[in-house]
Structure 1
Amino acid sequence: MTLEDLGYNDQLEKLRNENNLKAFDIGRVISEHKERYVVKNDKGEFEAEITGHLRFSSKSREDFPAVGDWVAITIYDSDFCIIHSILPRSSAISRQDVGKFGEIQIIATNIDYALLVQAVDRDFNMNRLERYLTICNASKVDPIIVLTKIDLIDEHQTLEILEKIKTRIKNVPVIAISNESQDGYDKIKAVIEKGKTYCMLGSSGVGKSTLLNNLSGKPVMQTGTISQSTKKGKHVTSHRELVILENGGILIDNPGMREVGIADPTSGLEMTFDVIGRLSQNCKFKDCTHTNEIGCAVIEAVEKGELDHASYENYLKLEREKAHFESSVAERRKRDKEFGKMMKNYKKDINRKK
């Protein structure tokens, strides 16, 4: 196993030199378990912890290592190392941290492509696909839609689903597969390149672990049986893990996500709903919200049937969600600033009394 097998390249070596990290070994985080990590490099796999300095200098959870990160380490014995620093990330797929006010959770980093996995039987949901696409676009990661379990429906139903996707989502590859018969596997293997990193996003039970096992050529992840009540695969994966595939591609599996709140500080929504973006240029008002304004070109397109109504409704929902998250972040920062000011004044008072 070489660093290149894990995705290391000349650009990362340049970053290593620019950040004065030549004195350290370099490894890639391949799994994470509640702030304990497994790091892999050409010397082996190591249980890892971060330094106290890295912990206390981190302003948020985003500053901690995540699966996919390249890190500077010191190896202390055959199975343990300390993480000193994280190399700058080329990309980071993230979402709103569930249950944490105004926080972002990193799903995986340094990703080239994201496989958006949905089962065609009960899991298929166009709105969720657009949500995943928004996350990818905000993260500058190329999406590939993967439809699983096509053996559970007939060919006509599969074609109907493919047509639904093409109507609402443009210029994104779609691959339909069966994990049982492995129909379509030739197409998915064709898009996986040696040294490139792929991440799977999808709900529990859509067949991500089976797909990973089949692509890796060995049973890497435990797979669940089908639930008799829901007829869906049971959730098995409980953590993120990076795996080298049979053809040299690198794949990160993720636990199934029930909640996928978007944390979009960039133009992810505009890229996903680019048709709405183009139409909005003809709106009467520059600050048009596309909800009830007179002269709104977007509303007019919906009324004429030129813009899919369900996609329009999903856009409005995600826009509201984005605005709420941004206000939550601003409120949290204000609260943190006020707390910092209070502590500073408290220390001044203590020093005066002395």
Structure 2
Amino acid sequence: MNINLTKLGWNETLFTKTDPAIIARVITVQRNSYRISDGEMEYLAHVSGKFLNAANGAIDFPTVGDWVAVEKLKLEKKAVIQHVLPRKSQLVRQAAGDKTEAQLVAANLDTIFIVSSLNDDLNIRRIERYIVAVYESGASPVIVLTKKDAYEEEQLTALIAQVETVAIGVPIIVVSNITGEGIQDLNTYLKPAETVALVGSSGVGKSTLVNVLSERNVQKTKDVRLDDSKGRHTTTHRELFVLESGALLIDTPGMRELQLWDGEAAVDTAFEDVEDFASACFFSDCQHDTEPGCRVQEALASGELSQDRFDSYQKLLRELAFEKRKQDQKAQLEEKNKWKQRAKNMKATYKQRGYK
């Protein structure tokens, strides 16, 4: 057993055919540079030329939490990343902008804290999206609601009840970074050698929570604007921290919007309540509109299912179907361009050799 790597969450069952001496974990990603650690020393790393040539897209490149095989230059404290080892989980979203591309947020996660403040920034529909993304990642979701100290018990109960309507089977923990209330409840998920990531919008208290859980100031923080409760960007990169408990904690930059990359299977889990009603419809291909025997329409009429919840469910399914079509079109175009380039290369080779 490699004790140094164990501190970073490695165990012998992960990569039985890989020499531990060449394994490291990515602890910081900043644009095209990486900081990695083998549990004994940190290195500034970059990917090899061979890696660059073999990569098909952004999702192939290392992200925070990844295990990588590297060539170490110990005297220079530098390393070359040869390849990324298989991921047991990965949190992915659609990259911002019009470009159809997956963006990796973090990898090899056990639990993901979906952090939201209880102020005006609380957005139930956004929480739904995060739940779908987390289930799709392969990790387990936990909702963490911050700023508990700013509300009376009656207000808290009402706000938590709102979140419970979309967090079917997902633990909800309410905390105060100021008084420390609820922080102890998070320790249940901060187990030695397990990795937890924090995701959420700017200003919800992720960086402050990292400092509280680390029991030291490892992240800069800023106050939320009082006029609209909007957060200010503090964390500008993704970083992994080792806590005193032996748990590993990853902080990520705030995301105002979360466009899903994939998640059709995860929607079934995140919207288990809607799926249960849908499965009870008389027709197996029911569109939940005007068909007779539609259990979904009955639930909407009786109030068992809210219209907002059902509308959100349908919207996410449409969005995922649209993204899937775009991804398929992109894949077809890339394949076509690849064969075009290959034909050009062959033509150039024949010309160099004197063939007509």
Tell me which interval the TM-score lies in, with the shorter structure as reference length: over 0.9
Are 1:62 and 1:104, in contact at CA under 8 Å, matched by a contact in 2? yes
Relative to structure 1, is the Cα distance of residues 290 and 78 closer, same or farther in structure 2, using a 3 angstrom cutoff?
farther
| Secondary structure of the corresponding residue to residue 6 of structure 1 | coil
Q: Does the 8 Å contact 2:114/2:199 carry over to 1? A: yes
Deviation at 1:86, TM superposition (A): 1.1
Counterpart-to-counterpart distance in 1, 2:23 and 2:342: 39
Give the conservation status (yes or no) of the 8 Å contact 1:224–1:234: yes
1:30 matches 2:27: yes
Q: How does 1:183-202 map to 2 (within 5 A)?
A: 183-202=181-200
Deviation at 1:189, TM superposition (A): 2.1
Provide the residue aligned with 2:177 in structure 1: 179
* 2:6 aligned partner: 4
TM-score by length of 2: 0.92
> Is the deviation greater in 311-320 or in 207-216?
311-320
**TM-score normalised by length of structure 1:** 0.93
Aligned counterpart, 2:284: 286
Distance 1:82 1:154, change over 3 A: same
What is the distance in 2 between the residues matched to 1:218 and 1:66?
25
Residues 263-274 of structure 1 aligned to structure 2 (within 5 Å): 263-274=261-272
How many residues are matched?
Answer: 349
Distance 2:156 2:305 in 1: 23
Instruction: List alignment gaps of at least 5 residues for structure 1.
Output: none
Partner SS, residue 326 of structure 1: helix
Whichever residue aligns with residue 228 of structure 2, its letter is: T
Percent identity (aligned): 34
Structure 2 partner of 1:337: 335
3-state DSSP class of the match of 1:89? coil
Aligned positions of 1:197-208 closer than 5 A: 197-208=195-206
d(CA) in 2 for partners of 1:201, 1:295: 41
Whether 1:40 and 2:37 are equivalent positions in the alignment is yes
Q: In the TM superposition, what is the alpha-carbon distance from 1:290 to its structure 2 partner?
A: 3.3
Q: How many angstroms does 1:232 deviate by?
A: 4.1
Shift of 1:35: 1.9
Give the CA deviation at 1:195: 1.0
Q: Distance in 1 between matches of 2:110 and 2:20?
A: 28
**Partners in 1 of 2:144 and 2:192 — Cα distance?**
19
User: How do 1:130-145 residues align onto structure 2 when only pairs under 5 Å count?
Assistant: 130-145=128-143
Root mean square deviation, CA, Å: 1.9
Corresponding residue of 2:62: 65
Partner SS, residue 341 of structure 2: helix
2:119 matches 1:128? no
Query: Contact 1:101–1:328 at 8 Å: present in 2 too?
Result: no
Tell me whether 42-51 or 186-195 shows the greater mean CA deviation: 186-195
- The answer for the alignment partner of 1:104 in structure 2 is 102
Distance change in 2, residues 1:332/1:285 (3 Å): farther
Q: 8 Å contact 1:24–1:74 — kept in the other structure?
A: no
Give structure 1 regions of 4+ aligned residues with deviation exceeding 4 angstroms. 291-295
**Aligned-partner SS, 2:4:** coil
The Cα shift of 1:13 comes to 3.7
SS at match of 2:276: helix
C-alpha distance after superposition, 1:174-200 (max 9, x if no partner): 111111111111111233111110010
Partner residue in 1 for 2:298 = 300
> How far is 1:338 from its partner?
1.7
Contact kept in structure 1, 2:203 and 2:223, CA below 8 Å: no
Counterpart residue number, 2:326: 328
**Whole-Å separation in 2 of the counterparts to 1:230 and 1:276:** 33
Tell me the amino acid that sits aligned with residue 45 of structure 1.
Answer: E
The Cα of 1:286 is off from its aligned counterpart by 3.4
Which stretches in structure 2 are left out of the alignment for 5+ residues? none
The amino acid of 2:50's aligned partner reads H
Query: Displacement of 1:266 after TM fit?
Result: 4.9
